[in-house]
Amino acid sequence: MTLYGHFPSREALVEAALIRLLAQGDEVLEAVDLTGDPRDGLRGLMESGWLLIAQSAAVLRAAQAVLPPARVHELHAKPEQRVHDLIRRGQAEGVFRTDIPADLLAGVLHHILHGAATDVAAGRLDPAGAPRFVAEMSLAVCVVPIANPRPR
């Protein structure tokens, strides 16, 4: 019997694979300390998250091809909530910028993660440097900018 014999459809197989990957990823992200400085939490989430996305890219592409977009989004609700909560806390503490909505910041972080995973897969980014680059780009987007001390 093939793997397909255990599932009623290809869609069900892909959804089960995505659910399993998200559960494994959640275990990794749960280990990131989000209770201290929001900048440290963001760095930890992004350094851990980029690798998870890189490792699960094929399953995510398959899910996006066969599952309704709303279902894929629904399955990502827990990791997305973790990022949104951290951003909102960072904004409330004055560490993250408030001139950009939390949802938009979270969306940009999502694109940074996926962009890094794509670039590593295409050989444009060294995987050893990716965690640092992803974290630094994310902090550059989210952290309140320091005023330019030079007069214009």
Per-residue pLDDT of the chain (152 residues; tens, 9 = 90+): 455 567 777 788 888 887 888 788 888 888 889 999 999 999 999 998 888 887 787 788 888 888 888 888 888 788 889 999 999 999 999 999 999 999 999 999 989 988 998 898 899 999 999 999 999 999 999 999 886 656 55
Say what the pTM is. Answer: 0.81
Residue 149 lies in a domain: no
Residue 122 lies in a domain: yes
DSSP 34: -
Residue 89 lies in a domain: yes
Quickly tell me which residue has 């209770």 as its tokens: 35
CATH code assigned at 28: 1.10.357.10
Residue 107 lies in a domain: yes
Structural domain count, the chain: 1
Rounded CA-CA distance 107/111 in Å is: 6
* Residues pairing with 96 in the sheet: 143
Q: Which residue segment(s) compose the domain that 115 sits in? A: 8-142
Residue 87 lies in a domain: yes
Residue 34 lies in a domain: yes
Identity of the amino acid at 57: A
